[in-house]
Amino acid sequence: MKFYIQLFKITFVLFFTYSCSQLPGINKSPKKQSSSNKLDSYLTINDVTINIIKINNLNESEINNFNSSKLDELSFSVQNYKNIYDYDYSYVLGSSDIISINLTDTDDIDGAYTIDPNGDIDLPFIGKIKIEGMDINKAQSNLISILRKYYKNPELQIEINEYNSSKIYILGAVRNQLTINLDQKPIRLIDAAVQADFSPNSQDKLLGSKGLLRRDNQVYKINLNKVFQSVNPKENFYLKKDDVLFIDRNSDSIQVFGEISKPGIYFPNDDFSLTELLSVSGLNKLTANAKKIYVIREDYSQFLKINVFELDVTNPVNLILGKRFKLQSKDIVFIPATRLVKWNRVISLLTPQTELFTSYNPIIQDGVKQGTSANITE
């Protein structure tokens, strides 16, 4: 019997030591890492600067500074590209469009004409004339200049009967992928996004807000959330024939781990606060260490620097500070367990080990029972 008691004590110590070494946490003074943790041929994980920031000690100005220190995505700002926001929409004729021509004083060429795949219309007595790629005014001027060779002071009117050639395409991670037929009425980016059933505040991880605009063999980055929120009219530009807008899956996520009811990935709006996240994700009051709520964020102002924000919400008043502290995309929120919960989990790991000899093998069970009886007799 003494042997089994001694064995239990040794096993308990080993498991406790191992479990403590495996429990997650924040190390303010990390020890030098092994060479297996190389980031590249020159840098190791030991070169990463970890800055611990207690939110409870921040003033209003400091909190606002951290809220505004976002990565500036200039590549997603369309207002930098004049050829996009300065585009003045007009319908451009193309293959399969049908136009009607009315020539004054004679009906020689009056009628409806379909633009062929080569971009031409075939007029009686005159032949084929290319009008593809022209708007209605330019096509009219072009026809008049040609008709002057056959008629004196020709006057004509052109109308578009059917709009078949000009289309724009919205694809990717939107609720309604669609092709929009263009006509004389221009359409702006927000109008097209609404038709695609885009929602600026969507939390569906299968949907997105950032993507690519392909126009005239060039590709530009687009952020639809920014377009909806911007007061700059340049962001809401006119779409052009053959524009392709591809929206990628949402990458602006916040990853949440630890003692909460709903861990996982969240896709919040721009004003999503730490307090709101704790409310939505469901902080586990029984197991969570409310003194240390961590927000881990990469600091883009310095190479290999990580800011770790720490909030103590044991005092409910501090939830106000958490409400003022805004989360950003790529943030990692971690809620650790209390020491008592860690201890209980270690015990729960040990329990199956102590019952091993009386649970699995009948032969071993008999041996244990015989050995126990022998020890008692002794």
Residues 158 and 188 in one domain: no
Whether residue 373 sits in one domain with residue 328: no
- Residue tagged 């479990």 (tokens): 19
Same-domain status, 239 and 281: no
Please tell me whether residues 116 and 181 are part of one structural domain.
Answer: no
Q: Give the range of the structural domain holding residue 309, as residue numbers without chain letter.
A: 24-57+253-336
Residue 74 lies in a domain: no
Question: Does 316 reside within a domain?
Answer: yes
**Cα 246 from Cα 231, distance rounded (Å):** 23
Does residue 139 share a domain with residue 112?
yes
User: Is the residue at 179 inside a domain?
Assistant: yes
Question: Helix 339-354 and helix 2-22: axis angle, to 10°?
Answer: 140
Whether 313 and 293 share a structural domain: yes
Same domain as 177, residue 158: no
**What 3 state SS string does the chain have?**
CHHHHHHHHHHHHHHHHHHHHHCCCCCCCCCCCCHHHECCCCCEHHHCEEEEEEHHHCCHHHHHHHHHCCCCCHHHCHHHCHHHHCCCCCCCCCCCCEEEEEECCCCCCCEEEECCCCCEEEECCCEEEECCCCCHHHHHHHHHHHHCCCCCCCCEEEEEEECCCCEEEEEECCCCCEEEECCCCCCEHHHHHHHCCCCCCCCCCCCCCEEEEEECCEEEEEEHHHHHHCCCHHHCCECCCCCEEEECCCCCCEEEEECECCCEEECCCCCCEHHHHHHHHCECCCCECCCCEEEEEECCCCCCEEEEEEECCCCCCHHHHHHHCECCCCCEEEECECHHHHHHHHHHHHHHHHCHHHCCCHHHHHHHHHHHHHHHHC
The last residue of one of the domains, among 115, 134, 162, is 162
Q: What angle do CA 369, 372, 377 make, to 5 degrees?
A: 125
CA distance 302 to 300: 5
**Distance from C-alpha of 345 to C-alpha of 352, rounded to nearest angstrom:** 12
Tokens of 139: 């096509």
Residue 56, classified by CB atoms within 10 Å of its CB into exposed (0-12), middle (13-18) or buried (19+), is: middle
**DSSP-assigned beta bridge partners for residue 103:** 156
Domain end point (choices 204, 226, 247): 247
Give the list of residues 6+ apart from residue 263 with CB closer than 8 angstroms, or none. 256, 257, 281
pLDDT tens series, the chain, 378 aa: 444 445 444 444 444 444 444 444 444 444 444 444 555 556 666 777 888 999 988 888 888 888 877 654 545 666 677 778 888 899 999 999 999 999 887 888 899 999 999 999 999 888 999 999 999 999 999 999 998 888 888 888 999 999 999 999 999 988 899 999 999 999 999 999 999 988 776 656 667 788 889 999 888 888 888 888 888 888 899 999 999 999 887 777 888 999 999 998 887 766 789 999 998 899 888 889 999 999 999 887 777 888 999 999 988 888 998 999 999 888 999 999 888 877 777 777 766 554 544 544 444 444 444 444 444 333
Q: Which of 183, 187, 170, 178 is nearest to 239 (CA)?
A: 187
How many Å apart are CA 162 and CA 113, to the nearest integer?
Answer: 10
Final residue in a domain of this structure, among 139, 162, 185: 162
CATH code (residue 196):
3.10.560.10
**CA–CA separation, 325 and 57 (whole Å):** 12
Q: For residue 270, what pLDDT is reported?
A: 63
Is 127 inside a domain boundary?
yes
The answer to whether position 82 is within a domain reads: no
In a domain, 221, yes or no: yes
CATH code, 103: 3.30.1950.10
- In this structure, the answer to whether residues 325 and 293 fall within a common structural domain is yes
Q: Are residues 332 and 263 in the same domain?
A: yes
Residues 193 and 149 in one domain: no
Q: Are 262 and 333 in contact (CB under 8 A)?
A: no
Are 167 and 242 a contacting pair, CB within 8 Å?
yes
Distance CA(367)–CA(357), nearest Å, equals 9
Inside any domain, residue 122 = yes
Of 98, 102, 107, give the one whose Cα is nearest residue 155.
Answer: 102
Look-up of token digits 């009607």: 100
Looking at the fold, whether 154 and 187 belong to one and the same domain comes out as no
Q: How many domains does the structure of the chain reveal?
A: 4
* Neighbouring C-alpha atoms within 13 Å toward the C-beta of 324: 16
Query: For residue 68, what pLDDT is reported?
Result: 78
Residue 282 lies in a domain: yes
Say yes or no: 222 and 266 in one domain.
no
Tell me if 24 sits within 8 A of 308, measured CB to CB: no
